[in-house]
Structure 1
Amino acid sequence: MRRTSQLVAIATCISTIASAQIPLITNIPARTTTSLNGTWQYIIDPYGTGFYDYRYQERKENDREAYWTTDIPVDKTDRKEHQFTDRYTLQVPGDWNSQAEKFLYYEGIVWYKKSFDFTRRNPANKVYLYFGAVNYEADVYLNGKKLGKHKGGFTPFNFEVPDSILKSSGNYLVVKVDNTRHKDEVPTVNTDWWNYGGITRDVQLIEVPQSFIQDYSLAIKKGAALKTLKNIPVEGWVQLNEWQSAKEVVVEIPELKIKKAFPVTGNKVALQFNLPTAELWSPQTPKLYNVVINTSTDRITDKVGFRTIEAVGKQVLLNGKPLFMRGICIHEEISPQIRRAYSKQDALQLLGQAKELGCNMVRLAHYPHNENMTRTADSLGILVWSEIPVYWTVDFSSTEVFEKARTQLTEMITRDHNRASIIIWSVGNETPVNPVRTNFMRNLISSARSLDSTRLVSAALEVNYQPGVNKIDDPLGEYVDLVAFNEYLGWYSGLPDKCRSANWEIGYNKPFFISETGAETQYGFHGDSLTRWSEEYQEWYYREQVAMFKRMPDNFAGLSPWILCDFRSPRRNNQTFQEGWNNKGLIDQKGRKKKAFAVLKEYYDGKAIGNGQ
């Protein structure tokens, strides 16, 4: 009986976690939106007083002391023990840690409030409240009524707003944001990056017709031969929120003179047609086509690139041609301002630095980055590895934790499955090898493929270092398309000259990828090449690594060193050379290039000439 109760409790919890993303509306830039970004009032609530009463029970919806209820007294005798005021404000989108010194290391609950008026463009429209991301747990209330909750700090979610709640004036939106780390969350308590809290991405009201296009997918058919760029088979689908009022879906690509109509027989409409010709998307030619999708009640547009990506034998093939990925890892952080990145300008800065390094690819670590990053990567021609934060030691034995991870995977893929730049979905980083973990990760891989079969699926594995040989024999390698691993020969293991005698044994006949490598240094600290933390040590490290890369087996498909820019990490406590920063960046906290930047750039420039990518 107790076991049954536990299962019911877990199922209820999973349903609550997932509810916010059903249905998740995609392609927000093409929608009719009203921004709720800007100045929000806040209350810091480390004890959760606004959520729990003195018996530590969740407050009732109409509890006058709940922080989601009005903070305006009825009269001078009315006691209110919470108040939102313009004396205490935060900017949204943005993390709270960078906006006031008292927040620097704060983890806990902060209540946000936004007052607004709203006029619908069309009185018949549905209205959804959309969050790009909130880290980590969000409870959302509008005019004192709870819309729902969401867990997951890096993926979008939305709620339909009932007509009975939304008013033309005097609305107040309250969000309880809690970035407290817990063992049974994704990620778990132990990470090597700072846990920025807050409403970190855009907040918008979305207006859609009663019958609207919820989502769509359009891509070159998997396995299609592209010997000539004629009669290219394309397939996909259009998801409608309800189908009874729509007779057909019309897909247009004006530049290619494509206009195809498909009958509606259910909520999901299958698409299949040929492109007479097309310029394929690639790093050299990041061609995007305007795509228009119409029903009798709704119309959306998007910019879409057409390309193929596959792992065949020992090679990764982009548009049927061998690809060498000249990558770099990136955290979603703007180090000069010590804040979470979120804007298009931030994306242009980070991806522009990657292009200057000679990269054709970035690994967005260790969580899905904001949509500006993936859309900007589309326009700049930068390939993307996108990852969920199944990191180090999440509880692999927990069904509840697995469902949280799968929900984040679903939200990541749902938002970005039409971005040509994304070629790899990653289900995790540096997870310990054991049967329970392998089953957990294998099931995530299966979920990724069921959601999107057109891309590669991978995970960043660890090296099995043994005397005389470095083995990649993690059993998870059997299930991934690209065998990726993190290696730090010369930093965590010996000195950089250890690379000279390194022998690699890859246990799988698949292309492999070095998903991390790097050494830490403080910009401006100089010594000889043996001096740890000096720029010369990092420079030597990269020279030895590059020499080793040139001796790698022929299934070596690329690398993404750790990392583009220095970033905050509470694990890094050398008070001379770190002071709360992971300084493995090739660019320092103030945007200055370290000596190793030139070493990697020289290697990449040479590979670009030889590889044609």
Structure 2
Amino acid sequence: MKKLLLLLFLGANSLAFSQKTTQPLPEHPRPDLLRTQWLNLNGSWDFAFDSTFVIPTKFAHKIQVPFPWGSKLSGVKDEADVAWYHRTFQVPAAWGSKRVFLNIGASDWHTLVYVNGKFVGEHKGGYTPFDFDVTSFIKAGQTQRVDIRVDDKRRMFTLYGKQGYGNARGLWQTVYLDARGADYIDHFAVYPNIDKGTVLIKAYLGGEASKDSQLSLKLSNGQSAIALVKKGSTIAELSLQLKKAHLWSLEDPYLYDLTLALGSDEVHGYFGFRKISVTPLPGSKIPYIALNNKPIYVQLALDQSYHPDGFYTFPTDAFMKDEIIRSKRIGLNGIRTHIKVDIPRKLYWADKLGLLIMSDLPNAWGEPDADMQRESEYTLREMLKRDFNHPAIFSWITFNETWGLFTHVDKKSIYTPETQKWVASVYRLAKSLDPTRLVEDNSVCCGRGHTETDIQSWHAYQAGYEWDKLMDDQSKNLFPGSQWNFEKGYVQGSQPMINSEFGNVWGYQGSTGDVDYTFDYHKAMNSFRNHPKMAGWLYTEHHDVINEWNGYYKFDRTEKQTGLDAIVPGMSLKDLHGPFYVSTGQEITWAGKAGQTVKIPLHLSSMTDLSGDLRLKISFAGVTAWGEKQNHWTKELPLHFAPWDVKALDSLAVVLPKDKSVNTLSFVLTNASGKVLHRNFAHIIVEEGNLKPSNPKMEFVTVPVERFSASLFPDKQWSGVLGHKVNGAGAGYFEYEFPISGSDISEVRFMVEASSKPILGKDRSDAGKMDGDYMLGKGTFDPGVNPNAYPQTDVYASPANLRVSANGINVLETVLADDPSDHQGILSWHYQARNNKLDEAGTYGYLVQGLIPPAAWQVALKTGKLVLRFESKRGGLALYGDQSGRYVTDPSILILRK
């Protein structure tokens, strides 16, 4: 029901603004820089594709501003590179003789503005706000006309980012008017100093002050201050000692509201009283990012910040708010807005709700020539100016994976020393503009390194079984003076090390992440928490986008199923993101023979400044090949934890049960009062074990899933999970012959693990065709086309009808609810070949059982064969063997004798 309500909520939010009676995004776009006298111009505008510089007299379309043309929410298809917008407006009489400004939140790329047919001004750039004083163009007492021409022709030096995932064409942020005084405040910057308890505010005027005046400040805590502004000044400063200073933190994101007034001009905003720095972990020299002088283990998601219907622009303010809530509710403490300067109101919700932000400068895709460098530096200056007062932002990233930094020389792409020097200079530029935050020169990947940086970041997309080795290697190379991860001529200092991108996406051969992410994610979390030199991580990604399908959420932000709660009741992603963590290391599955002893390594990670005592409850339980649940044992251990500590616990020696089975070691960590702080688990598979049920009168008979006696699926039939699973598309059947004999039979039951089997993209005749440039959004839109793909369980089910018959007699008819793939597909993950490829990893089915009528098995006694047919009427059929799915069983029968 919760999933249904979420779908209804998202659907309502996607449709509400599209109705002509509702203005899209009616809220003030800048809560950090707000004037009460303002007029929102979002809504229906006349629109025409026209590359001339003559204001059109006819407009063929209506467009919903501020959605980029080409997006569904704009109502206009993408048919050309240049377009004109037109609408009328009236200046509110209450504004009196104040100056009137037209503000555009963002427009991509070359924008020309006309008011009442007169040219007002132009702007070049795609991400940052600009405004024009239109006072002299306004005709008193009349309806005013505004026309805007936007040229978005592709230019290789512009900061295109990943707009192939949805172009930000034309106006894509709120357009509005506001009224300002003769002397007005263009913007302001707040410098909190928590060590001294003071705050400094720099107000930047829109021009030279026309006369001597006063700048006044009022805070929501009742404090105020005044500064003199001399005629000719362009900047004014105010400072004050805060009374009972209230820090901004993730747990308590307190914001001070403020009002600045200069003559008749008044702006409202806010700030958070907090500090971003680097500090060593207590008792060590390991550097960590610090919030308010305390280390913080950053746990982030890459947020490409796209919406399927609005591209760069979100449909509602509520949707933007929920983007932040989506991260917090799974236990993350931050996101990285990826190569997009995000919308101010989304940043506002991060400020208000308490979520850290890494903010990227978008990249160009050409060469780092003079035009590209000019565009990058301009946008960097403007984004830092616009977003300086957002306490959620803790770092700026100037470049990503060296995109746009290669020069082509002799048919080679080279990251030249000259470009490296320029990158270092851009780092220094950002530091000079904002000394209060951390700056990364380049979020490093693919053999390229840092120059000058505040964070030692690196990307790694790889299989889950490779994490411990990589983490060991990188931890060894982390020390001042190390050249690891740096370009020639540059060395590491005392920067904190974080992984700033990882995930299944791109991690397997040609993969775009369209597979259960939870299994390898679990492995990564286990490994990361055993390596305290890594000060945090960043998972790719917050939500799926176009052809990257590795998100916590789908592109429409509906839920994906992790399967964690089904393995350990109450467990969720938050258990993998908490301050306390019990890790078995990279491995989370083991296999062996009955009676064998397996040693499971255990570590306790406590990323907190507290110390104390805990209790660890360990339970060992499983399910046999014939479906019998077994609770083997439970024990509790007392543990002591120290601040910011990772320590090895005694290894756990587990004697494997006698029966063939799949078993779970569950770990539940509680504090002294019994509150659950963390849950985790590992699996142990008994491969060679007893196959005789505990009831001596019960006989268990199995047939390997691949050894069916007959089958017919006209659409398609094939195998998966290295031959341990059989698939049939559409309508069809698999038959199995079971030996049966004796006159003392009283009951016969059947058992099989089964799921539906829809046709995925990779299952079609054109399987594996994924032409196009993925970085620019020109690859596949099909999450199931990649050879490694098996899309994760989500809210969109693919049911099938299953009929089971024995020797022609109907036994059972049921519905297989879905074709699931998530962490519950234990065997389908464990038995994958470690060759950087996946074969239907994470897939599993439902344990289907039933009683076979006596008439069926009595007939079978005459031939010695009981023939079971598993038949799909629609939706396809997949059957699992003892090395696939989640039950360590093949198609089976259970014979109860008298």
Residue in 2 that maps onto 1:29: 34
Q: 1:206 corresponds to which letter in structure 2? A: D
Residue in 2 that maps onto 1:42: 47
Secondary structure of the residue aligned to 1:582 is: coil
Residue in structure 2 matching 1:552, options 531, 535, 538: 531
> Which runs of 5 or more structure 1 residues have no equivalent in the other structure?
1-24, 52-65, 72-82, 226-230, 466-472, 491-495, 522-528, 569-580
How many Å apart are 1:120 and its aligned residue? 4.5
Q: 1:123 corresponds to which letter in structure 2? A: G
Q: 1:315 corresponds to which letter in structure 2? A: Y
Cα distance in 2 for residues equivalent to 1:348 and 1:293: 26
How many Å apart are 1:31 and its aligned residue? 4.3
Name the Cα RMSD after superposition.
3.0
- Aligned pairs for 1:319-468 within 5 A: 319-335=292-308, 340-341=313-314, 343-391=316-364, 393-396=365-368, 398-431=369-402, 433-463=415-445
Secondary structure of the residue aligned to 2:423 is: helix
Cα distance in 2 for residues equivalent to 1:510 and 1:290: 34
Asked if 1 retains the 8 angstrom alpha-carbon contact of 2:198 and 2:242, the reply is yes
Task: Point out the more displaced range, 446-455 or 337-346.
Answer: 337-346
Cα distance in 2 for residues equivalent to 1:382 and 1:475: 27
Indicate yes or no: 2:503 matched with 1:518: yes
Residue in structure 2 matching 1:565, options 522, 525, 543: 543
Indicate yes or no: 2:568 matched with 1:589: no
Q: 1:183 corresponds to which letter in structure 2? A: M
Cα distance in 2 for residues equivalent to 1:510 and 1:217: 26
- Aligned pairs for 1:238-257 within 5 A: 238-241=203-206, 242-255=208-221, 257=222
- Aligned pairs for 1:180-195 within 5 A: 180-187=153-160, 193-195=165-167
Which structure has the bigger radius of gyration?
2
Indicate yes or no: 2:261 matched with 1:276: no
Q: 2:100 corresponds to which letter in structure 1? A: V
Asked if 2 retains the 8 angstrom alpha-carbon contact of 1:520 and 1:533, the reply is yes
Secondary structure of the residue aligned to 1:406 is: helix
Change (3 A) 1:552 1:42: same
Cα distance in 2 for residues equivalent to 1:289 and 1:37: 29
Relative contact order higher in (CA < 8 Å, ≥ 6 apart):
1
Give per-residue Cα distances to partners, 1:118-153, cap 9 Å, x unaligned: 234333211111001112332222222222222222
Cα distance in 2 for residues equivalent to 1:329 and 1:153: 21
Asked if 1 retains the 8 angstrom alpha-carbon contact of 2:65 and 2:74, the reply is no
Q: Which has the higher helix share?
A: 1
Residue in 1 that maps onto 2:269: 302
Cα distance in 2 for residues equivalent to 1:438 and 1:106: 39
- Aligned pairs for 1:225-236 within 5 A: 225=195, 232-236=197-201
How many Å apart are 1:300 and its aligned residue? 2.3
Asked if 2 retains the 8 angstrom alpha-carbon contact of 1:42 and 1:113, the reply is yes
Change (3 A) 1:464 1:343: same
How many Å apart are 1:28 and its aligned residue? 4.0
How many Å apart are 1:567 and its aligned residue? 1.5
How many Å apart are 1:372 and its aligned residue? 0.6
Asked if 1 retains the 8 angstrom alpha-carbon contact of 2:333 and 2:356, the reply is yes
Residue in 1 that maps onto 2:175: 203
Asked if 2 retains the 8 angstrom alpha-carbon contact of 1:483 and 1:512, the reply is yes
Secondary structure of the residue aligned to 2:136 is: coil
Cα distance in 2 for residues equivalent to 1:589 and 1:538: 15
How many Å apart are 1:95 and its aligned residue? 1.9
Cα distance in 1 for residues equivalent to 2:107 and 2:288: 38
How many Å apart are 1:374 and its aligned residue? 0.9
Asked if 2 retains the 8 angstrom alpha-carbon contact of 1:93 and 1:342, the reply is no
How many Å apart are 1:264 and its aligned residue? 1.8
Secondary structure of the residue aligned to 1:302 is: strand
Asked if 2 retains the 8 angstrom alpha-carbon contact of 1:26 and 1:415, the reply is no
Change (3 A) 1:603 1:116: same
Asked if 1 retains the 8 angstrom alpha-carbon contact of 2:68 and 2:311, the reply is no
Asked if 2 retains the 8 angstrom alpha-carbon contact of 1:117 and 1:167, the reply is no
Change (3 A) 1:243 1:340: closer
Secondary structure of the residue aligned to 2:329 is: helix
Give per-residue Cα distances to partners, 1:249-301, cap 9 Å, x unaligned: 2222241x422222223221122321132110011000011212223332222
Residue in 2 that maps onto 1:84: 59
Cα distance in 2 for residues equivalent to 1:541 and 1:530: 15
Q: How many residues are matched?
A: 512
How many Å apart are 1:531 and its aligned residue? 12
Cα distance in 2 for residues equivalent to 1:437 and 1:32: 46
Residue in structure 2 matching 1:542, options 502, 512, 521: 521
- Aligned pairs for 1:50-199 within 5 A: 50-51=52-53, 66=54, 68=55, 71=57, 83-85=58-60, 88-99=61-72, 106=79, 108-187=81-160, 193-199=165-171
Identity of aligned residues (%): 22
Cα distance in 2 for residues equivalent to 1:586 and 1:293: 41
Give per-residue Cα distances to partners, 1:352-404, cap 9 Å, x unaligned: 2111221111111111101111111111011111121125x4422x2222121
Q: TM-score if structure 2 supplies the norm length?
A: 0.53
Asked if 1 retains the 8 angstrom alpha-carbon contact of 2:32 and 2:270, the reply is no
Q: 1:513 corresponds to which letter in structure 2? A: I
Q: Which has the higher strand share?
A: 2
Secondary structure of the residue aligned to 1:149 is: strand
How many Å apart are 1:596 and its aligned residue? 5.3
Q: 1:250 corresponds to which letter in structure 2? A: S
Task: Point out the more displaced range, 239-248 or 417-426.
Answer: 239-248
